[in-house]
Amino acid sequence: VVIPLEKVEQINPVRSNKEAGGERYIQVTAMDGHDFWFMGFVSYDKALTHLLDTRSEFAAAAAAAASQQTPSS
């Protein structure tokens, strides 16, 4: 599954059981309302950290690009 970063609305870590060994998922919600559930990571914490960091960096870059655009005269 490939979801362009500009189409990602929300990223949610989900734990089905708070105890150690409980199932852990990552829910990604797209702008069009579709939900994607990812599970079975070798390193859940690393995957979640990288996904959240990438989304934050993308949002910051998009905001910086938008603030640098000047209206045409």
pLDDT of residue 17: 75
Q: What are the residue ranges spanned by the domains of the chain?
A: 5-67
Q: Is the pTM of this model over 0.75?
A: yes
Burial label for 58, CB within 10 Å (0-12, 13-18, 19+), is: middle
Q: Are 10 and 32 in contact (CB under 8 A)?
A: no
Report the chain (73 residues): mean pLDDT per 10 consecutive residues: 92 82 91 95 95 94 85 58
